[in-house]
Amino acid sequence: MIRAEAEARLRQLRVEIEGHNYNYYVLDNPTIPDAEYDRLFRELQGLEAAYPDLLTPDSPTQRVGGKPLSSFTPVRHRVPMLSIRTETDTTPTGALAFDVRVRKELGLTELDPPIEYAAELKYDGLAMSLRYEQGLLVQAATRGDGETGEDVTQNVRTVHAIPLRLKADPPPDVLEVRGEVFMRRDDFERYNEKQRSLNKPTLVNPRNGAAGSIRQLDPAIAAQRPLSFYCYGIGETVGWDMPATHGQILDALKALGLPVSDERIVGPGSPALVEFHRTIADKRDRLPFDIDGVVYKVNRRSLQQQLGFVAREPRWAVAHKYPAQEELTTVEAIEVQVGRTGAITPVARLQPVFVGGVTVTNATLHNEDEVRRKDVRVGDTVIVRRAGDVIPEVVAVVMDRRPMRDLIEPLHPAFTLPTTCPECGGPVLRIDGEAVARCTNGLGCPAQRKQSLIHFASRRAMDIEGLGDRLVEQLVDKGLVQTPADLYQLSLESVAALDRMAEKSAANLLAAIETSRGRELHRFIHALGIRNVGEQTAKDLARHFGTLDALMASDEAALLQVNDVGPIVAESILAFFSEPHNRAVIERLREAGAWQDGVARLAGGGHLVGKSFVLTGALPSLTRDQAKEMIESAGARVTGSVSKKTDFVVAGTEPGSKFTKAQELGITILDEDGLITLLQAGSDQNETSN
């Protein structure tokens, strides 16, 4: 390749790769397979190695580069990064107080029209200033004290959501963008899970994970941490046509290729703010990242300038917080729980504390390594975190509050995992390479029996209504049930004799067990509780093999042909079916008629095979599970996010951002009637072919 051709190809590759980065990291909408992206990236690396003088600082290959720093260089902000006043009333009515203050400062009366406000999220991460000159990212600095921050450019260049060059021709001479670096919850959990599997330190929470990653002196380490970024304002600008409102500024930043959240509104008066606060509160736990509140701003810049500042805080903006998701409490005891796979999990018994909207008395400590790394001991004051449906966890010990630190060892020794199971006395072993220790007694352990039965009866498995934790505990403790197959042998008399059970309740339970006979194959596979086999994998296995016998007879090569089944999952399946005890229980369940083969369509069956659906909002008459099951029975897959690969979005009431994204991408949107019509079209085809 001659030099001119190489130079043209280099430019093309850089534009193409950054476009794919934007789709993947900003829009959450990948447009090419990972293997194709890797091929393009390797081609770019090869050309730059062959023509090193053509290497540019905005090349995608330069996102991870530079030697470790000995310290960060101070950066003086040309426009200070000011703090925002906080509204302490965490109820929606807190927005009213802000509106009253603003109107008073502007000298408005009740007869004057409402003020137009912009409302957006208050991200829980690290404030950041990005400086672009002639469209090129030249510096990134932390907020610091507002006047002076730290130069973290090398680390920020590793954040793929942040463009190295703006989409503008011509670009502004200078544009400073203010925003927040944060870590998504799923990225945080995946990173910590990987660290635990390697017996390495985990991150305390997403906020600390983001801040600690950006302040790493070695950019190569920072690059290993999955970070995201959203803009929320600007600093110094030169040669940029400044929009008249805050909402328009964010729209303009988005047009330049900068990531801007869609969770924002512009609306009139305090009612718009109250409604935004309520709406975000309702979906707070479903957001993919942490927030600790929302921010209200007077939308029009001319009014912002009129209002000005007080004590280095703008009068035209306020942060309206939500109840905290982290609180302090005391560890009263450390115990262990035994799961259905025998996993031994340390649990902290806590002095009750209200956090994340509920009173928390227990919190997971994950495993022995985590307890020792955090050095959690009885009597410690700890930070407890609960967000959404996530199990509460102890994230850190407040060492300054540890009583009698010099005497702590004899009074409260470090946690040691028991060598025998607290439920059955069986040996507890930890396999090399695993962070979790397990009781090796299998279903001989009452705790594992109980958890396995609870899982077997759960709604997404065999769906045995009324068979809850307390009833399972009694059935196991009284020796009435040892394996799931024993459920189908229970008598009315034995069940009615249990505590808080009468003949009618017992009859209802037996009727529910009877109803569970003949469940779909994928439900039965899921109910077996095979390690690493969740609901979706069970469906994939049922579709692929069609019968349980075919699945049980499969080898590793056959299992690896199933969608999303890798070596670890295949090994778990083979190990489960190789156990004589498990095969004996399955044979007894066969005699009970617990499942029916062939209910899940085989791979290649169904008129919607290969199609991808996304469900959003509440449907009038179908639950989400019912709609999902109907779609999957037609051969399609239901995914959680909208992308260009999505074929249909099924939208009910209050569909949210998925609906908006589907409209932007031109994806077919169906209501419930449209979905049913589409599904019936396949039934009509089948009847015609018969």
Question: Which amino acid, 536?
Answer: Q
Which residue matches tokens 């510096």?
139
What length is written for the chain? 690
Residue with tokens 């449907």: 619
Helix or strand or coil: residue 644?
coil
Pair of tokens at residue 70: 């000995």
Q: How far apart are CA 81 and CA 75, in angstroms?
A: 12
Q: Which of 122, 539, 658, 661 is catalytic?
A: 122
Cα distance between residue 93 and residue 486, in whole Å: 56
Are 184 and 87 in contact by the 8 Å Cβ rule? The answer is no
Could you confirm whether 122 is annotated as catalytic?
yes
Interior CA angle at 462 toward 456 and 468, to 5°? 60
Helix spans in 173-226 (H): 185-197, 206-214, 219-223
Q: Which residue has the tokens 């690896």?
A: 560
Tokens (6 digits) for 462: 């065999």
Contact by Cβ (8 Å): 513, 505: no
Q: What is the C-alpha separation between 573 and 577, in angstroms, rounded?
A: 6
- Cα–Cα distance measured from residue 641 to residue 29, given in angstroms and rounded to the nearest whole number: 9
Query: Amino acid identity, residue 445?
Result: C
**Distance (Å) of CA 318 to CA 98, 181, 182, 597:** 7, 20, 21, 60
CA atoms within 13 A on the CB side of 235: 26
The residue with tokens 């340390």 is: 346
Contact 142, 149 (CB under 8 A): yes
Count of beta carbons in the 10 Å neighbourhood of residue 73: 11
User: Looking at the annotation, which residues are catalytic?
Assistant: 122
